[in-house]
Amino acid sequence: MARQFTALRVMGTILKILGWLALIVGVLAAIGALVFGFALTDRFGIPGIDLGGPLAGIAGFVVSVVVAIINFLILYALGEVVYLFLCIEENTRRSAYFVQQQYAPPEPAYSPPTPPDETFAPPDTASSDEA
């Protein structure tokens, strides 16, 4: 059977690829937040605001990893849902095709009676009673 809905297959694949890209970029951003948190100390930060330090770096790392994982799961799951709907459509179409192929009109259990011969006429019973 020919595959249909090429655009949906492409969209499903793109969503899966975007999911992996979001995970990779998110992990890199988390590592950057960790490095930035440890590198930025009070002497490089804004006066009066404590942006740096190991605790800020670890917190940024954890938040970035959690957000990256959630983004990955959402995008990858959406790609899988598109493929799920495509598989359901293919299986439904295939099942309908096989059901149509298996259907055959039932044959009668007995042979149908042969039509009466036009040349043979039954005897006239009414004329024999009068005689």
Task: Kindly state whether residue 16 falls inside one of the protein's structural domains.
Answer: yes
pLDDT of residue 37: 81
Q: Considering the domain boundaries, does residue 120 fall inside one?
A: no
Res 126: pLDDT: 59
pLDDT, residue 64, reads: 94
How far apart CA 34 and CA 64 sit, in angstroms, is 10
121 occurs within a structural domain = no
Q: Which domain holds residue 78?
A: 6-104
Contact 30, 57 (CB under 8 A): no
Assess if residue 79 is contained within a domain. yes
Single-letter code of the amino acid located at 110: Y
| Domain annotation covers residue 127 | no
- DSSP tag of 48: T
Q: Is residue 125 part of a domain?
A: no
67-106 burial: b if 16+ Cβ within 10 Å, else e: ebeebbeebbeebeebbeebeeeeeeeeeeeeeeeeeeee
**Per-residue pLDDT in tens (0 to 9) along the chain, 131 residues:** 667 889 999 999 999 999 999 999 999 999 998 888 877 765 555 556 666 677 878 888 999 999 999 999 999 999 999 999 999 999 999 888 888 877 766 666 777 677 776 666 666 665 555 55
Tell me the pTM: 0.66
pLDDT of residue 73: 97
The answer to the question of residue 87 being in a domain is yes
The domain tally of the chain equals 1
Task: Specify if 94 maps to a domain.
Answer: yes
